[in-house]
Every structure is written in structure tokens, then in C-alpha cells.
Structure 1
Amino acid sequence: MYTLASILDFKRSQIPNRREDGKMKISACMIAKNEEKVIARCIESYRKAVDEIIVVDTGSTDQTVAIAQGLGAKVFHFDWIDDFAAAKNYALDKAKGDWIVFLDADEYFAHSTGGNLRSFLRKLDKTVGAVACRMLNMDEVSGKVIDEITHIRIFKNDKQIRYIRPVHEGLVYHREGAQLQARLADRRELMIHHTGYSANVSKEKAQRNLTMLLKLMENDTLANPEYYYYIADSYNTLGDYEKVVTYIRLFLATGVKLTNLNVRVHSILINAMLNLQYPAHEVMEEVESAIAIFPRHPLFYFYKAKFLHDDSCYEAAWVEAQRARQLHDTYEDIEINDLPTNFGNLYNMLGAISEFKSDSGAAMGYYLDALKLDKYEALAFSRLMKLIRTQPLEEIVAFLNTLYDLDNEADLDFLAMSLVNHAVPQVLAYYTSLREKKYPKEDYVVLQMLVANGRYDKAFATLLDCYIKDGDERLALVTATAAALSGNVVYMLQAIEQLPSAYANILKAYQGERVLFDEEDRAAFMKILRTFILWADDAAKQKLFELADQFPDGLAVIGYQFLQEGHYQESLAYYSAAVEQALAAASFAVHPLLYYQQGYCLHRLNNPVAAAEAFVKAYEAGYQANDIYEYLRWNADKLPSGSRLKEKVLKIIYRIQ
């Protein structure tokens, strides 16, 4: 594995301590341009621990200079020449300290660790010339960790230590026959946070860097082959994945190694291939290759888990996902660790597999882990709500109140808009009403909440009027639902007249008219079917379900929609009816997917014998995708020993003819 010593080849240097009397002086340096939003945070994170602050301004037009001066910084001006190294070296020339702390304006010492600077430096051996710090790249908007990397941000003030390269500048030690010896600081002593890769600023920076890099490459390709990587990284941020693949391949062909970004070379290549929809086996080859190079890095095991999960190899995916978690928890190498930005996907994967294994308690724990990292993680929220929606309403509200701040507008917006998609109308009403009192909105959430709670007279006219003005298909769906559930003839006539023909046809048929549905009507029926499952009473549901007779697979359509909403008992009833219907039609064979869905519902209802019987029928009818082996394996141990069913299941699992 790469380590700090092996990558940088640090050796003992002869850099002397400049003061032997113990009066060590620390200079904090920075270059800045239009950083008024973040510069104070940076300076305040170390201001009390340093002796002077040097800010080199490269052309600010905002309050950057005034803020820096107000915090005691000495401000110098440097005419920008498209060269970050030159500007930083100018700052070094102004510094008088024994040690330099060089942060960018959008970096800062986190958790008050900047206060440890002086005591940390005093403890260092005299031969140590630099300090590498752990850095968390954070998204400032969401607060999420993007990745973790290690950078040298502290070093001795020595004329032989200077920055090189106009963009993506790095430190070098020019003393002949010696290299800079660095100490890696424990994250508890010194930790830096960086917000420069936040989504709201990263594309602007990537475009700036790309322009500079392409210009440099015109004259300096052979001298700096690492530019290939930095160009690829810029294109990755900008979403031009074809160029990412091109430039990463060019970089790999050079054989050059980067200080702490070699993992990222492979990760952005894999990401680009995924976005370009390369064949799965080609992407998996890249993943396996990266694992061979970095066997202790967590990221590539996550990628492997994702591929296995997508291929319905759930047990194997579980093993790789857990390995990724364990490696992350103990990861101490200086190579960049991109796994944190994938934690939401990782926890959702583990939660889904837990559900597949009928372990709802574990699934809830994983979804909660995802929401603790990002409380606006929509998929985790949706899956968690389906698992807890049958709990008492006051318990659901109490639980959500531990995750979300009722005085936070964004939190209330998320709850109101997300709960619209779940069959908990009273909980939706609670948060929507709270939001309207504190932060009134002109949106459709309130109208949908009224429909969900049966307040059709208060919602219908406004819904229809909004649809006529906006033409939003989502409004058409909710308007049609309100008209049908209201039982109001006038509403029905108005909706039939104003809504798209597909919804009008469904409403006509719902009223009892004879209507022949086409494919467009089928798509609308599927959507309105979901809103009925969420909001309608049993009588209204049954009335709508009867319209499914017009579709050859109408029973399966209803069963599928119940399954999607996690209503496995209801889904099973419709899939079983679909099987019986197919068996009764002697000219039709039962589609293997019907047996499979029967088995899945029975599995989720913890009926292993009936589930195994259905899965065996699906297998024998031709359904042999990977997931059926997983479900049979999970149910095999629960089957009676020595039974013919268990023998048959084991033969299928182990592919015995």
C-alpha cells in the first residue's frame, strides 16, 4: 500500500530550526480573490495561534481586503498572471516566521484544531520540515463530506521550499541531495475542512482550471504529464465523460504517479465509464484492476458491491459493501478516499438487501444511517417511511422530529413534499400545516395534502385552475384523483372537459361509461392507481380496480402497484388471482414472472414454504435470474428437513440436474 513515506520518498533533511531560543514564530499565508464569504472563517481558525497573517490579493472587487485587514492581516497586492505558484511564492517572500501555515481561503482548521498549531510544531523533531494534514472536502450547501485527502499545508520557512506549476501547484524542496521530510498529523490534533468543491462553486473552478491547463498543455505537454490527469478531473466535474476517458488513458500511458491522487485516477475513469454506459464487464474489469492495485482502499469494494447488487447477486454484494465499510473505518493512508460521497448509496444498498432478507429492523437502521449523513436523502426517507407507516401517528411524528428541525424552512419543505408520496395523510397534514403557518408557500403541496385528507371541496377548483394555467401533468393526476374520490358529479364533468383525454377516459369509465382504453390510457391508469392506493378508501379502490379488466394483465398491474408501495398481502392476492386466471385459460401458460412475484410477496410475508414453492414454479417456468437463487437460499434453511421441496430447492441453488 502507498504510504506517506513511499509516495513522497521523504528523507531526512538538514533544514535547521531558525530559532534555538524557543521563540518560534509562525506566519500564516494566503492568496485570495473575491473570497469575502469565507476568508474570515479561515483566518479565525488559526488567528490566535500565529504571529502574522500574510494575505496576497490577486484582484478582489468585493470586501476581501477589508475583512482581512480587519482581522489583522498584512495585505499585499499581486497582479494576476495566471500562475498560482507565482502568487503563492510572492506570499512566502513576505513571511518572516520560522514556520509557514498556507491555507486557501476556502480551507480552515476544523474543531478548533488550529489552536494546537504552536504546541504541535514545538514537539516535532528538528529534522522535520513539513506537516501533512488530513483534509475533508465538504459540500458547504449540504454539509456532506465529499472525500478525505492528505495535503502538506504547514512547512518551514526556507528559500529552498517553493511552489511549482501555474495551476494545481505543489511544493518542492530544491536542496540538492535531500528531500523534504514530513510528519503526518493525527486528525485529532490538526484537521482541515475545505469547501472549494461544493456543488455551487466546483464547476466554475473546474472551467477556470481547464482553460489554464489546456493553454499550458499547448507548450508544456511532455514536461508535465500529470496535466493529463488534472484535465480529466476538470472534465469530470463538468460532466464531459468522453474526454475524461480520453485524458485518463493518456495519463495512465505515461506511467507517472501522483502524490495522493492515484486512487482518484481510477475512480473518475470508472465513474465516466458508468455515465457513458460502458458494458458492465468492461467497467467491472476496471474495478477489479483498481482493487488489485489498492487492495486496502474502500472505494473500489463499494463499486464492486454496486455491480453485484445491480446484477441481483445480493449476498455477494452484501459482503463487498460490508468490506468497504470496514476498510473505511480503519483507513489511514494518504491516498484520497472518495467513499464518503457514496455513503448514501452504500447504506441504501445495505438497507435494501436487509429488506430482501426480511430483516426490517436492520433495514431501518441502515436507512437511518443514510439520513443521519444527509437528512434530505430521498430514497432512504421513502424506504424508511414504508417501513414505519403502520406505527401510531404520534410515534411517526416524534421520530421525524428527532431528524428534522421544525424551525428550519428547508426541513419543513422536504417533509411536506416527501410525505405527499406516502400513505400517511394525517402526518402529511401535520407538517404541511406547520409549514404554512411559518413559511407560507404558493405551491401544490397544500392542495395534495387536502386531497390526501379527503378535503376535496377545498382543493378541486384550485387544482383545476392551476392545471389550466400551468399544464403540469402532475396537477392533472391530482385533479383527476380529487374529482373521482369526491363523488361530485359537477367536479367529474369539469375534469373530463379540461383534463388530458387519458385522464378523461378513466374518469368516464369510473363513472360507468363504456370506454375502450389504449396505451396512453393505460399509462394514466397506472399513475392514478397509485394515488388511489395512497389516499382512497377501500370502496373507491375497488371501483377503480374493476377497470383493470380492460387490460390483459390488469390483475398483475394492480399487484405490481401494491408491491411497489410495500403492501405485500394485497399484492399477493392480485398476483395469485392473475396466476389462477392464467391457469383457467388453457391456451395460455403462466408467465414465470407471476410465480416469481407471488414468491417474493410470500417471502416478504415470512412464509418460507409457500415462497419456496412459488419460486420453484417460477424457475421451472423459465425465470432463472440471479435473484431467484438468492431468495431460495434464504428460505432453504427454513424448509422441513428431508422434504421433497427442500431437496428440489437445494438442487436449484447448486445447479444440480
Structure 2
Amino acid sequence: MPEKLRISACVIVKNEERDIVSWLANAKAYADEMIVVDTGSTDKTRDLARRNGAKVFAIKWQDDFSKAKNYAIEQASGDWIAFLDADETFLQPELVREYLYRLEKDAAQLNVLMVPIINVDEDNQDAEQSRFLNVRLFRNHMGLCYRNPVHETLYAAGNQELCIREENHALHIRHTGYSSNRVHAKVMRNYRILQADIAANGEQEHHYRYLADCYYGFGKLEVALHYAMLAIKANLQAKGSASDMYDTAINCMEMLSYPIDEQLKMLTEARQRFPKKSSYQIKIGHCYFQQEKWTEAQKSLLSALEELSAGQVGNGDEYTGNEDKALLWQDLGQLYYRQHDIEGAGKCLNEARKLLPLDEGILTLFMQLIQDRSLSEQCGTMLEYFCQTTEQRNYLQQWLERHGYLQHYEMMSGNKDEIYAIAQREELMDLYKILEGKAVNNLSESCRILIVLAAQPENLLQAKQIIALKKMLPAELAAIWSCWERQENVPAERYSDFKLLGNYILEWGTNAQIADYCQLAGDFTPEECLEWAGLLQAQRKNDLAWQFYSAVPADSPAVNFDFWLQAGICQYEMDSYEVAAECFARAASLGCSGELEAYQAWNERRLKPHG
């Protein structure tokens, strides 16, 4: 019977009054005894442990987790030991005893069990951060003990090989130690112990992965990348989480803006070593997406989707987190949107939203999909989709303001932009004070207010405000603004100034303002026309962009492969598939690329109903 099996639940603690009661309540569901080894608590930890039925022992902390854990093992009398941290609890503690009883009957040779540990952020609604396998259950055999002062590891006497089972689908443990408000203290503690060990014994291979973790936690990404690469090359690999160092290296390279080709090389190597970890395939697809290699991106992403659809949630070296899954759906949605598959893009958006309710890329895709609706419909849909909590609503409002959706921001928040509101109230002196103190050195802020004011119905106050604000612009931009007011062509030699102000108009202006501004273009060079067309195209102002493509003389050297490719994409986005086909054909006669092949394939599918 399972009751005959004795289980000892062990934990080492120091000032754990926050967690110890829930740990003990969890342990009571499966353990015959609870061993609490205190290493110097000054809070109520020991008293709470005793009152809740634990055997409490006190030892002096020696900056060595292994020594403290080995002392706890010496106090345990059970057949099996469950050694969890104070911030860890089994999700289904009632299953532990039955599971170990089956091992006694069917796998008596096993002496160590690795179980799935789920890192969650208790400060973010228990959002899952990662999963990995680690030893938390083992037989109470003489000779089994921990080594290493930090990130301690279980060994058998005489370095005999442990008989380990990796359990991927049962006995999950919830771990809160990497929550937002806890992680820094934990990293600092581990780093201090590591440095003491290195000072005593020298830096060794087994230190690399833990140093990488610490420096990553400190935000010292170059140093973290250095140690992650050393750990990857080292002979020692952590069982069940060997891919961690690839994860760290890849994340560092991304945040440090390493060239995409270098990121792809690292991802490809990681994928070869850990072929069951779909997150690498997703990130490979994302790299192709960033390179605008649409066909390769879609192939990689669909391959990852097929892998994820076929299997259960993996752990450790097979784990793919929600952020990566959301990235998969986000990029697929963008690809479908480019192919004018609005239904497919919408389905991808919904899947991404389930995983990450609020994310920059998801919100960008969402705004693209609803751009043809009225302002009130857009805001209503946003509230329905993204604002389940006050925190989410606040995040969305900040995102709208940061990305220039001022009308959406005002409708959802009920607040107008401070500077704009002051201008509207005719409080010019207050406006001057704010702009002088805040925006004189912030060109974008001055231009933003000017552009927003210029879009309003004309009146005397508006004219005075614009005149006052123009004086704060650099002379070159003020001259271009005057051209815009008078609807005069900008001289050919002033293209750089035209482009600078134009970038702000593209960001903050209305469609009518952007169209009026494009009429100012003077006798610009073909290269300048193509550059401005590209900027318009990036803002999905394809009809205006086409005007500038059309302005380039046919015999210009600028009419090359890239010209015909971008012109074709412009026509494709305007649903002019026949003209797009002609442009793509001309591009194909001058060269080839994965992007061209992808757009040709998409365009051919769109042409079929018209054929």
C-alpha cells in the first residue's frame, strides 16, 4: 500500500515567512515528516515551521547550499526525499505518494527523479516564464549528496552514475523565485557566492553557465553572452536544461542588435543540437521575416506550428514559451496580411492575443486589421479585445499615445495631450513656457504640435499659435513649412530638409496633410524620389508612393531590380495585380531574390480569379 512508503519533505530556509506556511501545507499532502533546516532567520520562519508540524534544525550559514542541504538529508528518515525550495510547491501534491509507490513496484532500480518545474511571475498574474527539468525527488540512500556551493547538484558516492528518470508529464512544481520583485535579490545572492567560490578555487567550466545567468540578470549582456558561449563550448552540460545557454546567447544577441545573419547562425546551431525545441524554429522564421525573406519565413513558421500542434507542452530542452508562440502567430499574421488574407491574419491575431494579451507586435497587427473602421468602432473593439483589467487599459493608452494615435488616446482616456490642450485654450504664455522648457530641444515635439494644430479648422488663434511655434523651428525647417503653407514647390537642393519635416508629417499628419505635402516635391533626383516613395510605402501610402515611382525617368540608372521589385509591391498592395505582375516580371529579368519569389507566388494566386 502507498501508506507504507515513507517520504521526507526537506527544505533549507532563511527568512522565508512569506512562503513557509504554504510550503508546509503542500508538503503535508504527501510527506510523513517535514525537515526544515534554518540557516539564520531573523523573522518568524522557525516559529511558523514548528507550529505547522515541522522538525526544525538550525545551522550556521556558510555560503554553501550543498552543506545546508546535506545536513537536511542527514536528518531525514524517509525512503524517499522530496527536496524543494521554499518558493516551490507541487501543483498536485496528492499524486506524489502514488507515483513513488508505482516506482517502488515497477522501477526499483531508479534512485533519482527529475520533474518539471514551472517558473511563474507571481507579480504578473502567475504568467509562465519558462519550464525546465530538475532533481527534486530521490531515494534516501547512503552516498547521495549535493556538491557545489551554489546551483548545487546531486551526486552519488564515488561519482557512480545516477539512475535517473526524466518525468515530463507529471509532478509539476510551481516556482515563484524568478518573479519580478524577487529575482534581483536572488541573482545578487548567487553572484556573491559564485565570486567567493571562484576566489577560493579559480574560475572553472562549471561556473560559466551560472555567471552567464547572473550577468544576464544584471543586464550586462556582452558579459552574459561571453559566458554563455563559454558554457556552450564546455564539456559540462546541465541535464534537462542544456539548451539554457543557447537561449541566453540568442537573447543577448537579439537585444544587442547583432547582425541577423549571426543570429541565424546561432539559432541554426541550437536547432541542430535541440531539434525538439520549436522556439528555435520560430526565431529562425522571425529572422527571415526581418530580412523580408517571406517564403523562408512562412516555411519556418509553419514548420514550427506543425511541431507544436503535434505534441504536448515540453520541458527544459523541449520547452517553447508563450512569448515565442505569440511571436509565431504574430509573424504569421503579418505574412497573411501581406498576402491580403485578412481572415487568416485575424485568426493569427486571436491566437497571439490568447498567449500575450498586450504586445507591441500584436497591437500593430491589430491596428492594421481595423484601420478601415470608424474611430469609435476601433476604440470599442480595442476595449473589447485588450482591456480586461485596469492595468491593460493603462498599457493600451500609453501605447496609443506613444505611437501617435492621439485621437484614439483621447477617446479612450478622456484626456487630451497637455500641450495641445493648452494651445486650444489660448493660454499662449503657458504654452511658451512648456515648449521652451520641454520642447525647444525636442524637434519632434514642436513639429507634432504644429502638425496637429494645422489640421484643425482655420481661425485667428490657430494662426497665431502656428506662427509662434514656427519661430521655435530651425530656419531650414521653418522655410519648408512656409512652402507647405503657400503650396510652393520645395527647391531641388532642399530635399534633405523636405524629408526631415516629411517624416514628422508621415508620423503625425492626417491623410489629407500627407497628400498636400507630397505636392511640394520639386525637381528631386531619381534616387531621392525613390527614397521618398519608400518612406510613403512604409506608411502604406501606396497611391502616393506610386506617383514618385512614376516620376523616375525610364532611362535612369535607378530603374534597376530593386526599383521594379518595390514598384511591384506597391501595386500589389494597391490590389493592382496585373500591373504588379508586369513589374515583378521586369524585376525577374534583372535578378532574383526570395522576396521577389514570394510576392510573385502571392500575386499569381490573386490573379487567378481575374483570369
- Alignment TM-score, normalising by the size of structure 2: 0.82
Q: Provide the residue aligned with 1:581 in structure 2.
A: 551
Query: SS at 1:375's partner residue?
Result: coil
Who is 1:546 aligned against? 519
Alpha carbons 1:579, 1:595 under 8 Å: kept: no
Compute the displacement of 1:371 (Å): 2.6
Q: 1:296 to 1:331 in 2, by over 3 A?
A: farther
Q: How many Å separate the matches in 2 of 1:529 and 1:21? A: 71
> Is 1:469 matched up with 2:426?
no
2:152 to 152, 163, 169: 169
For residues 129-172 of structure 1, the C-alpha deviation after alignment (integer angstroms, 9 at most, x for no partner) is 44332122234444543322112212334443322211110122
2:148 maps to amino acid: R
Does structure 1 retain, via aligned residues, the 8 Å contact 2:130–2:319? yes
Give the superposition deviation at 1:502: 6.1
Of 566, 572, 577, the match for 1:608 = 577
Residue number in structure 1 paired with 2:117: 135
Q: Could you tell me which amino acid in structure 2 is paired with residue 256 of structure 1?
A: L
Please say if residues 575 and 597 of structure 1, whose CA atoms lie closer than 8 Å, have aligned partners that are also in contact.
no
Structure 1: gaps of 5 or more residues: 1-19, 437-444, 644-657
Letter matched to residue 82 of structure 1: D
Partner of 1:356: 338
Q: Distance in 2 between matches of 1:545 and 1:34?
A: 66
Residues 510 and 394 of structure 1: CA distance in aligned 2, closer, same or farther (over 3 Å): closer
Instruction: Give per-residue Cα distances to partners, 1:113-133, cap 9 Å, x unaligned.
Output: 123333433443242444332
CA contact (8 A) 2:515 2:544 kept: no
CA gap of 1:497–1:419, structure 2 versus 1, over 3 A, is: same
Q: Which amino acid aligns with 2:331?
A: M
Match of 1:646 in 2: none
The 1:251/1:432 distance shift into structure 2, 3 A limit, reads closer
Q: Name the residue aligned to 1:370.
A: 352
Deviation at 1:193, TM superposition (A): 2.4
In structure 2, C-alpha distance between the alignment counterparts of 1:500 and 1:57, rounded to whole Å: 67
Distance change in 2, residues 1:507/1:307 (3 Å): closer
CA 1:478/1:177 → structure 2, altered by over 3 Å: closer, same or farther? closer
Structure 2 counterparts to residues 210-359 of structure 1, below 5 A? 210-220=191-201, 225-244=205-224, 246-248=226-228, 250-273=230-253, 283-329=263-309, 330=311, 335-337=316-318, 339-340=320-321, 341-359=323-341
What are the residue-to-residue correspondences of 1:122-201 with 2, within 5 Å?
A: 122-126=101-105, 127=108, 128-142=110-124, 143-174=126-157, 179-182=162-165, 184=167, 186-187=169-170, 190-201=171-182
From 477, 487, 492, the equivalent of 2:466 is 492
Query: Aligned partners of 1:598 and 1:448: how far apart in 2?
Result: 40
2:505 aligned to which of 516, 522, 528: 528
Letter in 1 for 2:147: I
2:467 maps to amino acid: L
Alignment RMSD (CA, Å): 3.9
Q: CA deviation at 1:385?
A: 1.3
2:95 is matched with which residue?
116
Q: Give the partner amino acid of 2:205.
A: P
**Cross-structure match for 1:5:** none
**1:228-271 deviation line (CA, Å, top 9, x unaligned):** 33333333444445444544554455533431232223343444
Q: State the secondary structure of the residue aligned to 2:8.
A: strand
Contact kept in structure 2, 1:558 and 1:574, CA below 8 Å: no
User: CA distance change for structure 1 residues 23 and 394 in 2, over 3 Å: closer, same or farther?
Assistant: farther
Once structures 1 and 2 are overlaid, which stretch shifts more, 239-248 or 146-155? 239-248
User: Percent of counterpart pairs with the same letter?
Assistant: 24
User: Could you tell me which residue of structure 2 aligns to residue 563 of structure 1?
Assistant: 537
- Distance, in Å, in 2 between the alignment partners of 1:356 and 1:397 is 24
Q: Check the 8 A contact 1:447/1:463 in 2, yes or no.
A: no
Deviation of 1:207 after TM superposition, in Å, equals 4.3
**In structure 2, how many angstroms separate the alpha carbons of the residues matched to 1:458 and 1:78?**
72
Match of 1:336, SS state, is helix
Tell me how far apart the structure 1 counterparts of residues 420 and 587 of structure 2 sit (CA, whole Å): 41
Unpaired segments of 5 or more residues in structure 2? none
1:80 to 61, 69, 73: 61
After TM superposition, give the deviation of residue 42 of structure 1 in Å.
4.2
Residues 402/193 of structure 1: CA separation in 2 closer, same or farther (3 Å cut):
farther
Task: Sort the Cα spacing of 1:44 and 1:547 in 2 relative to 1 into closer, same or farther, 3 A.
Answer: farther
**1:378–1:277 Cα change, 3 Å:** closer
1:32 aligns with 2:17: no
Q: Distance in 2 between matches of 1:218 and 1:167?
A: 14
Q: Deviations over 1:436-477 (max 9, x none)?
A: 6xxxxxxxx6448979xxx94489887655333333555323
For residues 475-518 of structure 1, the C-alpha deviation after alignment (integer angstroms, 9 at most, x for no partner) is 32332223322331121122123455566445444433978757
One-letter amino acid of the structure 2 residue matched with residue 366 of structure 1? C
Q: Secondary structure at the match of 2:243?
A: helix
Distance 1:248 1:558, change over 3 A: closer
Cα distance in 1 for partners of 2:343, 2:82 equals 48
What displacement does 1:83 show? 0.4
One-letter amino acid of the structure 2 residue matched with residue 322 of structure 1: L
* Displacement of 1:101: 2.5
Question: Does 2:366 align with 1:384?
Answer: yes
Contact 1:447/1:459, CA 8 A, preserved across alignment: no
The 3-state SS of whatever aligns with 1:420 is helix
Matches of 1:410 and 1:21, distance apart in 2: 47
2:358 is paired with a residue whose SS is: coil
Question: How many residues were matched structurally?
Answer: 594
Using a 3 Å threshold, how does the CA distance of structure 1 residues 449 and 90 change in structure 2: closer, same or farther?
A: farther
What amino acid maps onto 1:133 in structure 2? V
Change beyond 3 A, Cα 1:38–1:601: farther
Q: Which amino acid in 2 is paired with 1:479?
A: I
Q: What's the secondary structure of 1:56's corresponding residue?
A: strand
